[in-house]
Chains A and B, each alone.
Chain A
């Protein structure tokens, strides 16, 4: 059948040569237009950046805004340079970055793994989810940031309290998505797998988990942000090292440039993590129709 189809198509192509040419012209024009648009967007983004940073600097220089409160781009760069050269009050800058990063990564992993395990098992055992449902909702409704204080009391000023806070924040996001993902698995897929002889674990491994994976991956972007927030807030609440502590100290010293400088570092970390996440997502979801993934990237 497919052989017939291709033959028919090639016949058609040979008859309608003019149409084919104009088609390729259209495609080429569209590509040129798209490339132009892309370049324009990039240039505009760069322009906006220069405009904002530039006017900030100028306004600070001419004292239109008070650089003591608002800092200035030059001051921020100088502060970062100073930290990089002479270290912060708590040791070298890279160490602060690493401490925060370590807390965020460990918290992220812990939260994702427990979130997936709990989400999948609760969705697989409806009785369990019926029993635990109200409690989970209650805990979820609580502002979880305040748990950070408890964790500092329990676990001290070191790494564990921050990891646990980050993990708790990440857990709920991943948990609800994993739960919903498992529940929305196509029943036909499960029936078919069972008839083909799959055991319960095989159904989970080959059908339920990959299907829920789209939901889980969608939650990972938010979870990533939460893990960094968890680490920073944990450090705010009590720490001996880390970017959160650096910010808190800068705040106490009314050092606006210090706060912005640390913020910049965090932003760069978050962007880097987001980029890695995007790569991982693309890999894991490579089976999805091209059109859908194009749409998401166009929407970014």
Chain B
């Protein structure tokens, strides 16, 4: 199974801290002392309460932001500027509305200065892979949410990333479409086997897809626990895996761990607002 694209893509966070400067000039810590290793070609899901710092973790791996402390390494290299060999799928799709679907998928090669015909030919192949070859000339707004997500996937995978970062990619979709997209993602992932770092709020999705699930604490986030998901691959249909007793067992364990953090994050926000309410 291992191939050339499999050698890279190892993600290694060592004692990573990220502080932001708020618009008022104060500093706030988004994540602190995060230690995390994702082996090449494995699928890692990240769950945690809202606002804890999951997206921040991904932007650090992508090189969109620099860590304030600690070391972020991808494929053995210290991240410094945009990381080579990564693709990112955002929650709200980042398809350019003024470009056709085909041109959107072809962006990766175009940016690498591949000749336009060649780039479009490559994009055709990827559109076919996600089953949308008939929609190349459409504009993104003419597609359904699920179709746009598939285009986003094609646009991300055309660069043959060794690391695929996904930030709640399916959370804007309805439940049925989300299940379909999960299966689709697994199918595509099996083909090229990039390392995947996948942020989600949906624990079922996390367990169904991943080899390991990382639970993060309430913000400033750090890694609370890592669970190995030793369900056999290929997983097959997401809908069926859910009824596997092993799945249910894992779900219970991880949910216990996650719920504590969600409760803590919730208590903190209500505390803050009630204090504010009293002082006003």
Contacts and interface: CB of A to CB of B under 8 A. Distances in A.
Of the listed residues A2, A197, A206, A289, the one surrounded by the most CB atoms of chain B closer than 10 A to its CB is A197
5 contacts: A192-B90, A195-B64, A195-B86, A206-B99, A210-B98
B247 interface: no
Interface string B84-100: 00111010101011111
Interface in A189-203: 189, 191-199, 202
Contact of A193 (B92, B107, B112): B107
B146 interface: yes
Interface residues of B, number: 29
Interface in B120-135: 131
Contact of B94 (A191, A198, A206, A287): A191
A287 B110 CA distance: 20
Given A193-B111, A199-B111, A207 B88 contact: no
A285 B57 CA distance: 37
Contact of A189 (B82, B94, B110, B139): B94
Contacts of A197: 82, 108, 111-112, 159
Interface string B59-83: 1001010000000000000000011
Of the listed residues A189, A194, A195, A289, the one surrounded by the most CB atoms of chain B closer than 10 A to its CB is A195
A287 B82 contact: no
Contacts of A24: none
Contacts of A195: 62, 64, 82-83, 86-88
Interface in A166-216: 186, 188-189, 191-199, 202, 206-207, 210-211, 213
B141 interface: yes
Interface string A202-243: 100011001101000000000000000000000000000000
A46 interface: no
Interface of A: 1-2, 186, 188-189, 191-199, 202, 206-207, 210-211, 213, 287-289
A287 B137 CA distance: 11
Contacts of A186: 94
Nearest to B89: A192
Given A1-B180, A287-B98, A289-B141, A194 B64 contact: yes
Contact of B88 (A191, A202, A210, A289): A191
B224 to A, nearest CB: 28
A193 B104 CA distance: 10
A197 B88 CA distance: 11
Contact of A191 (B64, B96, B146): B64
Contacts of B83: 195
Interface of B: 59, 62, 64, 82-83, 86-88, 90, 92, 94, 96-100, 107-108, 110-112, 131, 139, 141, 146-147, 155, 159, 180
B108 to A, nearest CB: 5
Contacts of B99: 206, 210, 287
A169 B147 CA distance: 45
A209 to B, nearest CB: 10
Contacts of A193: 107, 111
A150 to B, nearest CB: 41
Contacts of B112: 197
A196 B146 contact: no
Instruction: Rank and list the top 3 A-B pairs by shortest CB-CB distance, nearest first.
Output: A192-B94, A197-B111, A287-B98
A206 B146 contact: no
Given A193-B107, A287-B98, 6 more contacts: A194-B82, A196-B108, A197-B108, A206-B96, A210-B99, A287-B97
Nearest to B140: A287
A189 B130 CA distance: 22
B132 to A, nearest CB: 8
Given A191-B94, A195-B82, A197-B112, A287 B87 contact: no
B87 A189 contact: no
A231 B98 CA distance: 35
A198 B96 CA distance: 14
A213 B96 CA distance: 13
Contacts of B87: 195-196
Nearest to A194: B82
Given A189-B96, A196-B159, A197-B111, A287 B88 contact: no
